[in-house]
Amino acid sequence: MKKYFRLIWRAVIIFLTLPLFLAKKSAAKIEHSNIQGITKPTIRIMMAIGVSFQIFWIILLLSFVLTPATPQSNNQPQTTQTPTTQENLTDLTKPLTTEDRLWQAVDNGLKKRDNINIYYDPADKIVIIEHTDENPYSAESFVKQAYSILVLYGQEAFNIDDVNAINVQNKTALTDEYGKKNIENGVIIEMTKENFSKFEWKNLEYQQINTRIQTASDIYRIHPAIQKEIKDESKLYLVLQYSD
């Protein structure tokens, strides 16, 4: 291809320079001849015109060769596409683990992950969900908080086949016999999927629920320090909204 281009270029150069050579040769003949009325200044002018003509064609040719072609535009905006990498494909096709789905249940049920920890026992298919509230508003609100976590999280987590029971542990700072504060379990509630599904929870909102939850639970414990602070059990009602 390069050899072909060089041959064309040489032909163009010969084509452009040949008239100049012939013009000079003709001018030389005229100069040596004694044709009346043609003077040397006239001959020089004729040669200058010929040279100018050749220069014009050379510039025109070079401008045509060197000027890049302007692509046609259809006035349509160009769209850019983000390449799909192998990593993106892996993320899209990678199946979710049980732990992933348990955290999705937190997102869907509680709407936030603040102060939440999740542990899963695959042998017994039990999910332990821990929540920590070091400064609860009251003993009643602290217990109700555990009820809300149980119900809101249970409605999502029990849709997972690998979950047969949920254990809620609501933790807070409690003072021991030596006057030291430690984070301990204030409320523990464990309920199976079978018992959980017996309730129509949305119809029980704002109803006192402590006795029914205690009866349906395999484990129901309230720390003595929390229990003695409960002044009015009628305040132990269900709230279907999580507040950390």
The first and second tokens of residue 24, run together, are: 């000079």
* Predicted TM-score (pTM) of this structure: 0.63
All structural domains of the chain with their residue ranges: 2-66, 98-235
In tens digits, what is the pLDDT along the chain, a chain of 244 residues? 555 556 565 655 655 565 555 555 555 555 555 444 555 565 566 666 666 666 666 666 655 555 555 555 555 555 555 554 545 544 567 899 999 999 999 999 999 999 999 999 999 999 999 999 999 999 999 999 999 999 999 999 999 999 999 999 999 999 988 999 999 999 999 999 999 999 999 999 999 999 999 999 999 999 999 999 999 999 999 999 998 7
CB hemisphere CA count around 151 (13 angstroms): 25
Contact between 50 and 23 (Cβ < 8 Å): yes
Angstrom CA distances, 153 to 47, 64, 90, 191, stand at 99, 74, 29, 12
Tell me which H or E stretch contains 216. Answer: helix 210-216
